Structure 1
């Protein structure tokens, strides 16, 4: 019997996103806004991007991207260099500190976040097993 529909799938995706953020968040380093996290993720995947490039890929308005970039630069997480092809633009990349933090946080196991969401340890283990199986099937 199939019970999964589009709305339920979207709700599940949102909940999994929340759990994923719990895993990769680092409260000790200060809170990043969802927009700042999206900018960091984009620059991690696309080093040497301009604000306009990030805007196009994330769908955020330019002012939001510019504000996020400025805050991240002030916090030492992004570095800007002049674009050699167009001196009016700056190209962005993660600092070494930010790159190390992203890699460390991205490899944290999810078991703790799942266990916090589910009071039954056996159920939490089963959910992690199912998530691993789903990842094998759905992720490239």
Structure 2
């Protein structure tokens, strides 16, 4: 297998895995993604969140509106630009996000236990640091 084939196979399989794991979600993926960014990065504007997600401002605003309506985020005036609002995750938002993350992890854990034998699970565990290092290299973080 050449390097390009490995890269393409990895891209395809990881994409399919991510989409499959999202099947366990109980909230729209855009809303879950915004909550995740607010949880990890702190308060942000809708424009900032759109940029982080690689979606249009309108798509991010639609997700933010749903989260605001559900009390999962709150908005307050931007401290240096009165035309903007900063979105903050609420305690209810953190609880909901944790529930979503736990569901995904539980669902994936069940799949790993069912589909892979103990040797395959051990080998998969050894791949996680490699994937993390690859991600860090790609994102520059």
> Normalization by structure 2: what TM-score?
0.74
Point out the more displaced range, 101-110 or 85-94: 101-110
What is the RMSD computed on CA atoms of the aligned residues? 2.6
5 Å-filtered alignment, 1:49-128, equals: 49-107=44-102, 108-109=105-106, 110-115=108-113, 118=115, 123-128=116-121
Cα shift at 1:14: 1.3
Distance 1:13 1:41, change over 3 A: same
Aligned with residue 123 of structure 2, among 111, 117, 130 = 130
Aligned with residue 32 of structure 2, among 34, 37, 54 = 37
Q: Do the aligned partners of 1:22 and 1:113 also contact (CA within 8 Å) in 2?
A: no
Q: Which runs of 4+ in 1 moved over 6 A?
A: none
Distance 1:101 1:34, change over 3 A: closer
Count, aligned residues: 129
Instruction: Provide structure 2 residue ranges, at least 5 long, that are not aligned to the other structure.
Output: 134-141
How far, CA to CA, are the matches of 1:77 and 1:113 in structure 2? 30
Instruction: Provide structure 1 residue ranges, at least 5 long, that are not aligned to the other structure.
Output: none
> Normalization by structure 1: what TM-score?
0.75
